[in-house]
Amino acid sequence: MRLTPRTETRGHHMPIDRFLRSLAEDQRSNAIGVILSGTASDGTLGLTAIKAEGGITFAQDEKSAKFDGMPRSAIAAGCVDFVLSPDAVGRELTRIRTHPYLTPSSSSRTADLMPDGDPQLENILYLLRTSSEVDFSDYKAATVKRRILRRMALHKIGKLKDYVQFLRHHPAEVEALYEDILIKVTSFFRDPAAFEALKTEVFPSIVKHRLPEEPIRVWVPGCSTGEETYSQAIALLEFLSDRSADIPIQLFGTDLSQGGIEKARAGVYPESIAADVSPERLRRFFAKVEGGYRISKMIRDMCLYARQNFVQDPPFSRIDVISCRNVLIYLGPVLQNRIMTIFHYALKPRGFLMLGGSEGIVGTASDLFELMDRKHKIYCRKSTASGLHFDFSASQYSIETGNIASGKEAQKREGGVRLLDLRRETDHILLTKYAPVAVVINDDMEVLESRGHVGLYLELAPGRASFNVLKMAREGLLFDLQATINKAKTEKEGVPVRKEDIQVERNGELKNVNLEVTPFKVASNRERHFLILFEDSRPAGRAELAETMAGEAKLSKAGKEKPSDRQSSHLKQELVATKRYLHSLVEDKEASNEELQAANEEILSSNEELQSTNEELQTAKEELESTNEELHTVNEELHNRNFELTEANNDLVNLLSSVNIAMVILGRDLRIRRVTPGGGQRFGLILSDVGRPITNIRPSIDVPDLEQMILEVINTVSIKEREVQDGEGRWYSLRILPYKTLENTIEGAVLTLVDINDLKNNLEEIKQSHDQLAAERAKLEEVLRQMPCGVMIAQAPSGMLLLANKQVEEILRHRFLDAADIEEYSQYKAFHLNKQPFQPEEWPLARSLTRGEVVTDEEIEYVRGDGTPVFLSVSSAPILDRQGHIIAAVATFFDLTHRKGTEEVLRSTEKLAATGRLAASLGHEINNPLQTLDGVLYLLGRSTSLGETERRHLGTARAELERVAHLTTSILGLYRQSPSPVDVKICEVLDNVLKFYGPTIRSGKVVIEKRYDSEDVVRGFPSEITQVFSNVVANALEALSPEGRLKLHVLASRDWRNPTRRGVRVFIADNGPGISRENRRRLFEPFFTTKGEKGTGLGLWVTSGIVDKHGGWIRVRSSPQPGRSGTCFAVFFPENQKLSPMRRTTVALDKSA
């Protein structure tokens, strides 16, 4: 055994089929195949190949097989010789291996057991002939003998004589031997390249030369179980593609095996054909059935199958393609030649013949066909006479047994045939005796027919045999014959061309020959033919007779003669008389010859008419017999179809009556076609309602738009479902489906009614339970959502996360859907409080899953998904089942970051509070001197001795003093309750602030741009709001260069956090150097400053507190990039806000700045 790499297969890989086929091809009749327990159908085709090659096959019986799919498929295919248990198979192999059939010298043993001419062998052939009406005498003797010896091996018979006795006592064995000799080697698309050649070389020519409405006819003799016929049909449909609907197709499959014909008609094949048929073809041309595939109904309707002995029975006619592959190799030369003549007769003038790869056309049959494709053995029919003559007297068939004529009709037909034979023999004698020698040639100079002794003028040339008339012409005749034929080719039909006195050498002598060539055509063939007549030239007798009469006239003019002269004269007179007598005899003879010639011509004319009539009768009989054969095939097919239809109808009636489903089948006209018993009861129908439109019947269910629903299903090829109630209130599920035929056309609708009353009640109970569970689940989910901590539940031992609440994603900033298990979370770093990193197995949830450990309030520093740190307090515990096994674990964790930040803020607040108290004390202490100074400045301002300049300076001093007093009052206000709020105009506040910083603005070239789009007022504390904008404007002026630009924009707006809140938004922007990203994060922290010792770090912190106190927000955007640097503060104050004490404000940063 030699193993090679497996080649790529088109469909499913079937290793057992592939191996057994290879074994059959290599070992042939020595192969033994055994199919044991297994699923599917692999091995069926391989076992079939082994049996076809003459090998012996086994299959395990279904009782002992654990999986009976493979053995059952092989048994159903009919390719198994023994069905045994495995131990019985072993015993049978031990016994059978000693039989001569399987010995190494089996060929010589076959010759010893069955020598040629053995009477026992003749007895077997006689038994087969009487049983099956098939004569195997002209089959290949070696094949028949091997099959007989195989059957002997199966029955443990060693002598031929004993097997003959066995056959006589067991008629079933005669049938089995008959089926064994009929070798069934076939498969789908055997030699795929040959089918591609059909598509490229044969089918295009057929379609091109076909007449309109003329069908394409294909005949597959020896079709076995139909694979070849169906392959031809599929290949033809693939070639025609979209044109297949416009061109009628007929395929005829014939075989001697009735069992094979029945399998072909069924069209069901095992699953293992997927190795030979591509998935695309399986999908398009096959339907999946239990245990295999079935060819589609469309293709089955194209193919007609019939049992036929195409060697004896009349063939089909007007065939386009004959596919007879691997049949001739089992037949002898006599049958091969006869079959070629039959195929030539059956094919159209341009028909094609396809043979197997190891077959060919030799001998005289090569004149009937022309080789087109040597590789794929495709031949084209030549336009020559087939010479086929049928003996119809043996065809006495009836409908049931294959015969089509009664006994009396057969005797009458035999009498008519004998009369025709008598006339034919009489005509043959007359033509032989009186007709001239003649031959008929075609346009290629080939001799087709001959009459008379053509050997006087033609003879076969030495070397390879040829029927070319020029190569057969005798010496001296060639040139004149060729010239006469060439001239006749230029003449019209029926115009003869004659050539006389041609000297031809015959047996060493020269003979004068006359030659006549006449062109003609026959009605059944468009090719020209030529009739060549040969005849010898006649002798010149009349010239001699004239010379004799001239001598007699001279004697009569002489005078008296002497006695001797008289005697001489008398003798001369007697001679003249004799000559006259002879002349009369000659004339009489010539007249007789002319009469005979005329009679001969009349006989010849009558004979030609008789021959023409006989040929017409013969042709008519052949066509009639072929037509009868086709009718017989069609009738047999219809008989089988009717039987299948009756059987299917019975099955359908029993099926519908046994199923407990209410079903009604309607046609396209909505008439009732079939009703199940349950359907009649639930729809309120009776038997007499079949055939009536359902719209004329009032069903027991309440469906007002039933007709509309049915029509919509038929027109849209959809399915309608509805829950309906009957008069008693019971619930049913009404389902309306389209009624599809095998051709996928819609021919009506199917109504089904299923009682769902109990289901409906159960569903209601289930719905209530489901609602309760959903409510409980919603409560649990709500609890989990409202829990301030993150909750995670993982499955043991895989660690797959089962649950994670929303807080998990918010705290860890890692999506739960992206996490497959807890290891996903371990990808991010975590640290102990001592800054040592966590290992994956040290996670609290992992420890609870693997070790059942309970972890409580363990603090962890975790790096979140966005890279920011977070402090967690983690607790975890295992979840146990009733047996104490860990099935899951739960972990909860709190975000400690805010708490730790709050602790840090509290520490800072305590520090700030102490500083605030100190500042308040200082402010209180400063207030008294400030009041004194204010009084002094007031008194000074009342003095009349001051000039205008002094008074302006005095006003400035009092304003600055008031600002200092206001600052101290604001610092005290942070720790004391503010006065009552009032309506504040933002625009006026901004104008006052700009006036306050007027000197600073005027000292440089700062450009102020104001845009007030809103005059709305807000509710608040004027001094605090003024302080907010004063701090922001002061910072902007400090950041500006001397020639900088400051923009103020006021507009009505909505709160970006709550669009329902209306208010006023203020933008204060400068084109200063900008603020870095890191500084922006800490901009509103207390004591944070970028001004060094000059800044206190309290301005924006106080500003943020005031805005937050008023229910607003402040945001900052800034860019330090050169050329586009600058800072913009956005402040929002709501219209009506219930003010609250100052609290910590969260600052939102624009990340894109």
Using CA atoms, how far apart are residues 891 and 869, in angstroms rounded to an integer?
A: 20
Residues 6+ apart with CB under 8 A from 1055: 1061, 1062, 1063, 1113, 1132, 1134
How far is the first Cα of the chain from the last one, in angstroms, to the nearest whole number? 79
Closest CA to 912 of 1144, 601, 664, 647: 1144
DSSP string covering 719-782: -EEEEEEBTT--EEEEEEEEEE-TTS-EEEEEEEEEE-HHHHHHHHHHHHHHHHHHHHHHHHHH
Query: Does the pLDDT at position 484 exceed 90?
Result: no
- Alpha-carbon gap, residue 313 to 310, rounded angstroms: 5
What's residue 588's pLDDT?
65
Express each pLDDT in 1044-1063 by its tens digit. 889 999 999 888 778 888 89
* Rounded Cα distance, 116 and 118, in Å: 5
Q: Name the DSSP letter for residue 1043.
A: T
Of the two residues 581 and 293, the one the predictor is more confident about is: 293
Integer angstrom CA distances of residue 574 from 101, 1013, 1045:
96, 170, 173
The pLDDT score that the predictor gives to residue 226 is: 92
Spatial distance between the Cα atoms of 17 and 273, rounded to a whole number of angstroms: 10
Judge whether 725 and 703 are in contact, CB under 8 Å. no
The residue count of the chain comes to 1153
What was the pLDDT predicted at 354?
Answer: 94
**H helices present in 198-307, as ranges:** 203-209, 227-240, 258-266, 279-285, 297-302
Alpha-carbon distance of 108 to 1147, in angstroms, equals 108
State the Cα–Cα distance between residues 32 and 424, nearest whole angstrom: 57
Distance CA 132, CA 130 (A): 6
**pLDDT-based confidence at 974, cuts 50/70/90?**
very low
What is each CA distance from 614 to 385, 419, 424, 599, 609, in whole angstroms?
16, 12, 9, 22, 8
Closest by alpha carbon to 1139, among 1101, 1113, 1107? Answer: 1107
pLDDT of residue 230: 94
Q: Is the pLDDT confidence value at 508 over 80? A: no
Q: State the average pLDDT for the chain.
A: 78
pLDDT of residue 545: 39
Angle at 701 (CA atoms; ends 700, 705), nearest 5 degrees: 120
Which amino acid is located at 919 in the chain? A
pLDDT at 908 over 80: no
Per-residue confidence band for 542, with pLDDT thresholds at 50, 70 and 90: very low
Show the tokens assigned to 409. Answer: 């009709």
pLDDT at 98 (0 to 100): 67
Which of the pair, 414 or 378, is modelled with greater confidence? 378
Query: Strand 1045-1054 vs strand 1007-1012: parallel, antiparallel, or unpaired?
Result: parallel
> In this predicted structure, what is the pLDDT of residue 203?
92
pLDDT beyond 90 at 274: no
pTM confidence score: 0.42
pLDDT digits (tens, 9 = 90+) for 843-885: 888 888 888 899 988 888 877 767 777 888 899 999 998 888 9
* CB distance 1071 to 1055 below 8 Å: no
Residue 197 has pLDDT above 50, yes or no: yes
Q: What is the dihedral of CA 114, 119, 121, 122, to 10 degrees?
A: 150
**Both tokens assigned to 709:** 């629903």
Concatenated DSSP letters of 691-729? TSBGGGS--SB--TTHHHHHHHHHHHT--EEEEEEBTT-
Burial (0-12, 13-18, 19+ Cβ within 10 Å), 830: buried
Cβ-contact 376, 360 below 8 angstroms: no
CA 1148/CA 1104 separation, integer angstroms: 12
Residue owning tokens 């006819």: 217
With beta carbons less than 8 A apart as the criterion, state whether 1121 and 1055 touch.
no
How does strand 720-725 pair with strand 731-740?
A: antiparallel
